[in-house]
Structure formats: structure tokens, C-alpha cells
Amino acid sequence: MANQSYLKALNRALGDEMARDPAVCVFGEDVRSAATNVTAGLLTRFGPQRVLDTPISEQAFTGFATGAALAGLRPLIEFQIPALLFLAFEQIADQAHKLSLMTGGQARVPVTYLVTGSGSREGWAGQHSDHPYSLFAHVGVKTVVPATVRDAYGLLVAAIRDDDPVVLFAPLGALRRREDLDFADVPPVPLGVGRVQRPGTQVTVVAVGHLVHDALSVAEELAGEVSVEVFDPRSVHPFDWSGLAASLERTGRLVVFDDANRSCGIGAEIVAAAAESMRLVAPPRRVTRPDGAVLPFALELDRALQPSREQLRAAILTTVGSAQLAGAAHG
């Protein structure tokens, strides 16, 4: 067992799947030189016909991958900057995603879109710091956001094997994570199955991606005051609604910790779904980026717009406090 990094998990998952299935191939800008290290060593192992450097045209190579998938390949596209997804959104949401549905399942488009280093770039400014996983969940594209090294491996393997398009966001805030594990012992992680990362009895914190680790730290800090359950959905679409409902049966209180813009984000959907059909004894709360947030170049301003541990701590204490006050009023 070795101390493995999050980036190594992505690299190993991709290499293992290329070795297992000759239909798996890689498209992207600078993938042969492994600019992000995700594709390190793959050119030497699998050759230039399966590791293809593409022109700087996201619309072109994303569409090319759709055609390759229809012809029987399983391409993985690496996007080095999350905002480039906006250029390719039509190719993913309107073409790759819909072709199977529009052909009654006769066509399959098994493309994986890997976004390495999504979210804040620590001062990389507005056009490099987006985290648009909610956008893909909104249109129904399978979308996953691994928080841990183990899940980075297991979710990428599952995404590559899936017969539908899958977008995997690898948050910048998670790339430095390390874990002691043997990848040979890590199974694929089923899409749409969340995990309770820390059990609790008083409030459920749903944390997405790298914010899982911040939520665990806050839960530990509050351990003497509040029993916090941390729920990691892992997939934002499909979402593990039954897993969330089971957690809320235990706690009855909900705080969502979401590194996306507030309006129409996955945090809003989680809160709405819980309010409609799950057990709540207090108003749910969200900790997110502000409405329409565009992260500035200045590092201090960048961090000021990101959801923080301090905001989460306050939301937890307010949620638990409001529930206790409501109980006292009815007592």
C-alpha cells in the first residue's frame, strides 16, 4: 500500500481502463505531453493512435469524440480549464447526451469529459475559475465530483465504462489530497450512490467535491457542541436522493455546502427536494458562492467569494439553534 495522490488516481484509472479495453482513447490539448499529469506515461504505453493531441478548438474535438463513440470507441476528453466546457456545451448537452434517447437506445455515446482542476484556481481570475457542475446536472448529463483519492479512481473507472456521456469534475481544491491505498483494491464507484463520510445525529451537511474535507474539519471542531453528519453525494446527477432522505431521517436538519453560484445551483435543488419530500424540523440552509459570482484575479477577493468553513460553521449553529427554538416554542 502506497501514499497516492488524487492526480495519480486519475492517471492510474485512465491507464488501467486503456489496458483493459482497447476502445478507450484520449483526446485533448497537450495530452501527449501530459500538461496536467493526468495522461503521464500513456503515450509511451499506448501509442499516438490512442493518445491524440488535438487542435485548440473545443467544439471540434468534442464533436469528434461523439462521432468516435458512435463508431465504437470510448474516448476520454481532458479539459484543462472548466470555462472551456461552455464552448463545448452544445456538443455535450444537445448531441452526445441526446443521441441515445433520440434513437431509442440504438446509439450509444460513451464519452467521458474530465475537467482537471475545476473551481477556484487561486487567483486565476474569472475565466478560469468556474465550477459549472450544476449546469450539466440541470440538462440531465451524468455528472460526478469526487472528493477523495479513492473516489477519484473509482468514479473515473465507472465513468469510462458507462455507455452514456459522463462529466467528471476534479476540483482544484482536491488535487493535493493523498491517501494510503492500493488501487488494485479499489472497485468502480456506482454513479448516483452517495456516502456518509461522518455519521451524526443533529444536522446533515451535504458537501460537494473538495468541500467534503472542509465539512469534516468543521464537524470535528463542533464535535463537543453539535453532532454533524457529512453526506458526500459523489454524483450530482444522478443524485442519491434515497441516501439523503435516510440521513435526514436521522438528523432532521440540512445545510448544503456547494462551490457553485447560488441561483439555480445544485444546492438549491437539494434544498427544494428535501423541503418537498423529506423530514425536516428546521429551515434548510445553503452555503455557496454568491449569485452570479465571477472570481477576481486578486487572491484575497477570490477566496472571499468562495464558500468558507466560517460560513458553514455559522449555518450549522443557526440551523440547530432554530430547531431548538422551534421545539421550545411548541413545548
Cα angle 207-209-210, degrees, rounded to a multiple of 5: 95
pLDDT at residue 281, as a whole number: 96
pLDDT in tens, 69-106: 999 999 999 998 888 888 899 999 999 999 998 999 89
**Domain shared by 35 and 140, yes or no:** yes
Write down which residue in 185, 206, 225 finishes a domain. Answer: 185
| Mean pLDDT within 16-31 | 95
Please give the Cα distance from 11 to 308 (Å, whole number): 30
Q: Which of 97, 128, 131, 210 is catalytic?
A: 128
Instruction: Identify the band that residue 327 occupies on the pLDDT scale cut at 50, 70 and 90.
Output: very low
Residue 128: is its pLDDT beyond 60?
yes
Q: How many domains does the chain have?
A: 2
Is residue 237 part of the annotated active site? The answer reads no
Instruction: Identify the band that residue 156 occupies on the pLDDT scale cut at 50, 70 and 90.
Output: very high
Residue 7 φ/ψ, nearest 5 degrees: -65, -40
Query: Which residues constitute the domain of residue 234?
Result: 195-319
**Domain shared by 287 and 176, yes or no:** no
Which of 27-36, 59-68, 206-215, 291-300 has maximum average pLDDT?
A: 206-215
**Domain shared by 137 and 261, yes or no:** no
Residue 243: is its pLDDT beyond 60?
yes
Write down which residue in 134, 165, 185 finishes a domain. Answer: 185
Specify whether the CB–CB gap between 86 and 132 falls below 8 A: yes
94 occurs within a structural domain: yes
301 occurs within a structural domain: yes
How does the average pLDDT of the chain come out, rounded? 92
**Domain shared by 48 and 77, yes or no:** yes
Instruction: Identify the band that residue 292 occupies on the pLDDT scale cut at 50, 70 and 90.
Output: confident
pLDDT in tens, 202-223: 999 999 999 999 999 999 999 9
pLDDT at residue 110, as a whole number: 97
Write down which residue in 185, 203, 230 finishes a domain. Answer: 185
Instruction: Identify the band that residue 324 occupies on the pLDDT scale cut at 50, 70 and 90.
Output: low
Specify whether the CB–CB gap between 207 and 231 falls below 8 A: yes
**Domain shared by 86 and 115, yes or no:** yes
Residue 328: is its pLDDT beyond 50?
no
110 occurs within a structural domain: yes
Q: Three cell numbers at 299?
A: 487572491
pLDDT at residue 182, as a whole number: 93
Beta bridge partners of 228: 203
Cα angle 85-67-36, degrees, rounded to a multiple of 5: 40
**Domain shared by 126 and 180, yes or no:** yes
Whole-model pTM? 0.93
Q: How large a percentage of the chain has pLDDT more than 90?
A: 75
Q: Three cell numbers at 90?
A: 452544445
Instruction: Identify the band that residue 121 occupies on the pLDDT scale cut at 50, 70 and 90.
Output: low
**Domain shared by 104 and 232, yes or no:** no
226 occurs within a structural domain: yes
**Domain shared by 181 and 207, yes or no:** no
Longest dimension (CA), the chain: 71
**Domain shared by 149 and 210, yes or no:** no
Instruction: Identify the band that residue 33 occupies on the pLDDT scale cut at 50, 70 and 90.
Output: confident
CATH number for the domain that contains residue 205: 3.40.50.920
pLDDT at residue 55, as a whole number: 87
Residue 313: is its pLDDT beyond 90?
yes
Residue 312: is its pLDDT beyond 80?
yes
**Domain shared by 287 and 179, yes or no:** no
CATH number for the domain that contains residue 159: 3.40.50.970
Q: Which segment of 33-37, 216-220, 251-255, 300-304 scores lowest on mean pLDDT?
A: 300-304
**Domain shared by 92 and 154, yes or no:** yes
pLDDT at residue 129, as a whole number: 75
Contacts of 40 by beta carbon, 8 Å cutoff, 6+ apart: 11, 34
Residue 326: is its pLDDT beyond 50?
no
Instruction: Identify the band that residue 161 occupies on the pLDDT scale cut at 50, 70 and 90.
Output: very high
**Domain shared by 180 and 306, yes or no:** no
pLDDT at residue 5, as a whole number: 95
